[in-house]
Structure 1
Amino acid sequence: MAISDIHLCELEPTAGLWMRYRQAPYSPDGEIAAMLDALRGEVRSGTGGSGGLSSARDELTLVLNGDIFDLDAPRVIDNESVVHDLPRTAEHAVPAMEAILRDHPIFVGAVGRVVADGHTVVFVAGNHDIQLTLPEVRDAVKRRIVDAALDARSAQGSGAPARPGEALRAALEARVVFRAWFHRTTDGVIVEHGNQYDAYCSYRYPMAPFGRKPGEIQPTMGSLVSRLLVSRMGYFNPHVDSSFMLSGFGYLAHWARYYLFSGRSLVLAFAVGALRTMVELARRRDPCRRALRRAGLRAAARETGAPLPAVAKHARLFARPAEDCLGRVARELWLDRLGLALAGILAALACLCWMPEGLAAAALLAPTLLVAYERAVPKPTLDAVWQGVNRAARLVATAHGAKAVIFGHTHSPEGSWEDGVFFGNTGSWSAAFEDIACTKPVFEARPLVWLRSEDGAAPDEPLAGGLVMWKDARFQPWRADATPSVPRKAEIARRPRPAGLRPQATAALRS
C-alpha cells in the first residue's frame, strides 16, 4: 500500500490566517492515523474489506512515497515561523526533522503501530524530504518510529516470546526501510516519488544528491522557490494551485484584502524570492560527473536489489536539472519578461527624449518586441510537465519489466491497468483547503494505491487491486467523482492567460 505528499512540517504557532494550513487543527494527522489503524485491522482480519481491497495475507508493506515531510517549509524558532534557506546538511536537517516528528505524534504513533504489528514501512525520499538520503536523518526517523512501535506493543500487552530489549529493537528497526530513489518489491512493483522526471525538482545523482560541498545537498529550483518565495507568501496555500494561480486583478484583490494593512509585501516577496532563486542556481551550478553517476547507479542496485542494467535504463529517463538551462528558469519566474519590460521602458524613454521628433514612434518598438517574444517563446504548461511524468512511468515499467509503477509528486491521483501492468499516482494527503480560512477541504476522499499478490504466486502471476479512496472512515474503490472540488494543475494550465504580467513560479512548487 502506498500514499504520498503529506507535507508534514513544523506547526505554525499562531492562530490567524497567516499560514493557517500549517496550524495544528488543520493537520491531516488524525485522518492518516484513522486510515492506518483501519488498514491494520483489515489486513489482520483478511476479510477483503470494502470491495475486496485488503490482502488475505497478514503481511503488509506500507510505502510512504515521498514528500511525507516538508523540510523546505519555515522552521519554528522562539514560537515564530522563520523563513530560511539553511544549508541542506545533516547539521540542520536532523533538528528540523526531530521538530516535525515532535509536532506530529499522532502520525508517528500510527506508523509505529503498523511496525508493531509486524509489517514493513518504507520511506521513499521526495523532492521536499530529500534529506531522507542522509544517514543521520534516517536514524532520527527510525528511532522515533521504533519508539512508537515499542510503546504500541507495550500498550497492547503483546504475547510475543520475551526477548532481550536490544534484539527486539533491532527486529523492529529492520522493518523501517529507506530508499533514496525508488523501491522495488519482490513481486515486481516499482514505487518512486516521480520528481526525477520534472526538471524543476530533479537531482543529478538521487542516491547522493550533493553539490560541490561534501555532505550538502544540491538545491533544486523547486526547493529554492519553496524556501525563498512561496514561504514568504503565507496567505497562499502552496498545496492548492487555485489559491495562487490568479489573474492580474485577482492578485490585486488578494493584495488589497490581506497585505494592504498587514505590514507585509507581496510584490517584494516575489521579486526578492525570484531573483535569489536565480542567483543561487547560477552560483551553485554543478556539472555532471560521470564517476558520481556510475557510483549512484551501483548504489541504487545495491539498495533496491534491482539489476544494474535496469537501473541504468531507468536513470536515462531523468529530466535534466533546471540549473542546466537558466533561461528556462528565468522564463518560469517571469524574470525574462520583467527584464525585457524594463529594458523596453528605458528604450522608449530614450527614444522620446533624444530621437528626432519624426522618429519618436520608434518608442513603440520595445513593447512590440516584448509581445513578439511572448508569442515566439511559449512558456511550458503544467499539463505538459505532468504528461511527461506519466510517460516516464510507462518507460520505467519497460526498463524493469515491472508489474506496476507507482508515482506521487503531481498530487493528482490516478490508476489504470494497461496490458496487465498497473500505473498509479498516490495523489496527496496534504492540508489542502479551498479557502484561506481552511473551512472547506479540497479532498472529499483521500487516495491510496493498494496492490496485493498471493503468497507463493508465480513471477508472471498478475497483481490485484489498484487505486482506492479513504472516505467516510472506510476504504472504497476510487470513483471519478472523488476528484478535488477546486481546479487542479492540469485544468488551470489549459485556461487562457490574462494579458497582464503575473508571477507564475508554480511549476517549480510541486508541493
Structure 2
Amino acid sequence: MAHNRYLVVSDLHLADIEDHADGWKRHKSSAWIYDDEFDRMVAAFEADGDPDDRLTLILNGDIFDFDLVTAVPDPAPWPVGPLEHEYGLAATAPKSAWKLERMLADHPRWIATLGRLCRDGHRVVLVIGNHDRELWFPAVTRVFVDAVSAVVGHAVPADRLYVEPWFFYVPGEIYVEHGHQYDYYSSFRYNLEPVYEMRGEQHLALTTGNLSNRFMLGNIGYFNPHATDFILSLVGYVKHWFRYYAFTRRWLMLTWFLGSVRSLAGLLNIRGRLKRNPPRDYDRHLDATAERYDIDPDTVRALYALRREPITKRAFKIFREFWLDRLTLAVLMVLGTVTLLVAPVPVWLKVMVPLTGFPLLWFIYQWLAGNDNALTLEQKTHTYAHAIASLVPVRAIVFGHTHVPNQIPLSRDVTFANSGTWAPIWDKEKLEHAAGLRNYVAVAVGEHGRCDVHLGSWMELHPGSAAAKSLSDDRPTR
C-alpha cells in the first residue's frame, strides 16, 4: 500500500441553511445537505490503508461560500449598512468570522468529520478558493481551526490542520490549487494579499464572480448559482420570467439591473482603491511561499506569472458580463424606432429598419463580441497544469473551481485531475441529484515513486432521467 495518500475534494459550497416552501433558494435547502455522505466517504478512505499510512484530506477551495450568506445578526455588534441588510455583510474580518460561525453551526457533522480525522493522526489542509477567500483573514481562519479543535478536545497541531492561501505541494508527489486564478472572472489582482483599506478597515477585494453572486445571483433565487442555468439567451430569460416571476411579487429585471449596477460600481471602486494603494512589498508573500515549500524563488514567481489578470482591466468585458452592452443596444434601438416613427421618412423605412435592420445589427454585434465566458474558460485549465508540471516535479496536479470532474494524462508520469464539486446541482425536471458529482480525487504514492490517481464520484447509481443526462448537456460552473 501507499505511504502517502491524498484525498482531494473541492467546491463543497457549504453555506447556512434556508428553507422556502416555494423553492426559492433551493440550493440552500436542508434537502441537499450531504454531511453524512461526506463523513462516510472520509471514513472509507481512512479504513482503506495500512496502519502506518498517512492520509491527507485536501479541501481544495470554495469549501465555504461566503457570498451566499445574506443573514445579519440582530442585534449586530458592529455597524451594518443598508446594502448589507439587503445583500449580506461586507467582507471584513469580524463580519466574515460571524458568517463562518453561522455556516459551521448548520454543519456540525461535517466539522466532526474533520475533527475525527485529526484525532486519528491524519492531516487536513484547506486551500483557499475564490468564494472562501475570506479565510485569508487570520480571525476567520481561527474560527475554522477552533471549531475543529473543539471536536478533538484540544488544539490541533499546526502541521496537522492548516490553511493555505495559494497551493499545497509535496515535491515529487502532488500539487493542488483551486484554479480560480486562471479564470479572469474570478482571479484576484493580489491573491496573496487580496484586501484594500476603507475607513481604516481591511475589506476583501472581491472579484467579478463574487460581486455577481452577492448582488445578483444571490437575490435571483430561482437560479442555481452552482450550475449554468443562469446563463441563458434573451429568449431563455423571458421564458424564465414568465415561469417564475410574472405572477409573483418578486422582480427579475429590477433585481438584475440594480445588481448589475451595484456590482459594476463595486468593481470600479475596488479597482480604483487597489490602483491608488497597492500592497506594499507584495513579493514578500512569494518569498514566504518559496521558503515554506523549499522552492526556488524564481520558480515561485514563474508559477505566479501563470495567473490571468482579472477582468477589471478589460472595460468591455465588464460591461458585457453584466449585459449592460445589450441593454444599451436595445435602448438605442427603441429610441431609433421612435425617432423613425415621428421622422418625415417613407413608411417602408419606418417598418423595414426596426424589423430587419436592427435585428441584423444585433446579430452582427453578438458575433463580433464573441462568446468567451465562464464555460469556455474551463476548457483551458489543463494547459495551466502542463505549465505547472514543467516548473515543479510532481506526479499529480489537481484543480477544482470549474465543477467539471475530469482526468487528463499530461505525460507518461504526470496526471491532471479536476475534483469536480459537491454543490447542490440537480436535474431541473425531477429535482434529482445530477449524476456523477460529489467527486473526489484519490492520489496514492508508494515505493519507488509509483503514483496512482483516481477520480471518482461518491454517489449511488440511480438509472433515470438525471442519470441519463450527460454532464456535458448542462455543465456546472463555479
Shorter-normalised TM range: 0.7 to 0.9
Higher mean displacement: 413-422 or 63-72: 413-422
Please state if 1:426 is matched with 2:403: no
Please state if 1:258 is matched with 2:258: no
Aligned to 1:301: 290
Aligned to 1:87: 90
Q: Label 1:445 to 1:378 Cα distance change in 2 as closer, same or farther (>3 A).
A: closer
**Residue type of the alignment partner of 2:392:** H
Q: Secondary structure at the match of 1:270?
A: helix
Q: CA deviation at 1:246?
A: 4.2
Percent pairwise identity: 29
- TM-score of the two chains, using structure 1 as the length reference: 0.81
Aligned to 2:183: 198
Q: CA deviation at 1:467?
A: 1.6
Aligned to 1:166: none
Match of residue 435, structure 1, among 428, 441, 444? 428
Aligned to 1:118: 121
Aligned to 1:164: none
1:207-356 equivalence runs, <5 A: 207-213=192-198, 215-241=202-228, 243-285=229-271, 286-287=274-275, 289=278, 292-356=281-345
Give distance in 1, aligned partners of 2:17 and 2:142. 22
Q: Is the CA contact (8 Å cut-off) linking 1:229 and 1:269 kept in structure 2?
A: yes
Q: Secondary structure at the match of 2:187?
A: coil
Higher mean displacement: 297-306 or 112-121: 297-306
Q: Is the CA contact (8 Å cut-off) linking 1:207 and 1:300 kept in structure 2?
A: no
Q: Is the CA contact (8 Å cut-off) linking 1:202 and 1:321 kept in structure 2?
A: yes
**Residue type of the alignment partner of 1:71:** F
Q: Label 1:137 to 1:266 Cα distance change in 2 as closer, same or farther (>3 A).
A: same
Q: Label 1:492 to 1:37 Cα distance change in 2 as closer, same or farther (>3 A).
A: closer
Q: Label 1:110 to 1:16 Cα distance change in 2 as closer, same or farther (>3 A).
A: farther
Q: CA deviation at 1:180?
A: 0.4
Q: Is the CA contact (8 Å cut-off) linking 1:352 and 1:363 kept in structure 2?
A: no
Give distance in 2, aligned partners of 1:358 and 1:104. 66
Residues 302-334 of structure 1: CA deviation (Å, up to 9, x unaligned): 444433222111111111101111211212222
Q: Is the CA contact (8 Å cut-off) linking 2:35 and 2:107 kept in structure 1?
A: yes
Q: CA deviation at 1:146?
A: 1.2
**Residue type of the alignment partner of 1:194:** G
Match of residue 14, structure 2, among 3, 8, 15? 8
Q: Secondary structure at the match of 1:398?
A: helix
Give distance in 1, aligned partners of 2:269 and 2:138. 27
Q: Label 1:357 to 1:257 Cα distance change in 2 as closer, same or farther (>3 A).
A: closer
Q: Secondary structure at the match of 2:54?
A: coil
Q: Is the CA contact (8 Å cut-off) linking 1:123 and 1:178 kept in structure 2?
A: yes
Higher mean displacement: 7-16 or 135-144: 7-16
Please state if 1:464 is matched with 2:467: no
Q: CA deviation at 1:230?
A: 0.4
Cα RMSD between the aligned structures?
2.9
Residues 218-265 of structure 1: CA deviation (Å, up to 9, x unaligned): 010000010111011112222232x33445554344333322333101
Aligned to 2:27: 21
Q: Is the CA contact (8 Å cut-off) linking 1:33 and 1:110 kept in structure 2?
A: yes
Q: Is the CA contact (8 Å cut-off) linking 2:421 and 2:438 kept in structure 1?
A: yes
Q: CA deviation at 1:74?
A: 2.9
1:128-139 equivalence runs, <5 A: 128-139=131-142
Aligned to 1:96: 99
Give distance in 2, aligned partners of 1:485 and 1:272. 39
Aligned to 1:177: 162
Q: CA deviation at 1:389?
A: 2.0
Give distance in 1, aligned partners of 2:416 and 2:128. 20
Give distance in 2, aligned partners of 1:32 and 1:378. 40
Q: Label 1:492 to 1:300 Cα distance change in 2 as closer, same or farther (>3 A).
A: same
Q: Secondary structure at the match of 2:66?
A: coil
Q: CA deviation at 1:170?
A: 4.2
Q: Is the CA contact (8 Å cut-off) linking 1:448 and 1:469 kept in structure 2?
A: yes
**Residue type of the alignment partner of 2:70:** R
1:368-379 equivalence runs, <5 A: 368-379=360-371
Residues 23-63 of structure 1: CA deviation (Å, up to 9, x unaligned): 223212111111112222223xx3xxxxxxxxx74211110
Q: Is the CA contact (8 Å cut-off) linking 2:123 and 2:160 kept in structure 1?
A: yes
Runs of 4+ in 1 over 6 A off after TM superposition: none
Q: Label 1:253 to 1:340 Cα distance change in 2 as closer, same or farther (>3 A).
A: closer
Q: Secondary structure at the match of 1:121?
A: strand
Q: What stretches of structure 2 of length at least 5 have no aligned partner?
A: 1-6, 75-83
Q: Label 1:360 to 1:292 Cα distance change in 2 as closer, same or farther (>3 A).
A: farther
Match of residue 142, structure 1, among 133, 145, 148? 145
Q: Is the CA contact (8 Å cut-off) linking 2:175 and 2:394 kept in structure 1?
A: yes
Aligned to 1:75: 70
Q: CA deviation at 1:435?
A: 3.1
**Residue type of the alignment partner of 2:202:** G
Q: Secondary structure at the match of 1:306?
A: coil
Q: Label 1:264 to 1:171 Cα distance change in 2 as closer, same or farther (>3 A).
A: closer
**Residue type of the alignment partner of 1:61:** T
Please state if 1:409 is matched with 2:401: yes
Aligned to 1:50: none
Number of positions where the alignment pairs a residue of Structure 1 with one of Structure 2: 451
Q: CA deviation at 1:391?
A: 1.2
Give distance in 2, aligned partners of 1:350 and 1:84. 39
Q: Secondary structure at the match of 2:443?
A: strand
Q: CA deviation at 1:86?
A: 3.0
Q: Label 1:272 to 1:73 Cα distance change in 2 as closer, same or farther (>3 A).
A: same
Q: Is the CA contact (8 Å cut-off) linking 2:173 and 2:445 kept in structure 1?
A: no
Aligned to 2:38: 32
Q: Label 1:293 to 1:359 Cα distance change in 2 as closer, same or farther (>3 A).
A: farther
Q: Is the CA contact (8 Å cut-off) linking 2:23 and 2:222 kept in structure 1?
A: yes
Q: CA deviation at 1:100?
A: 0.5
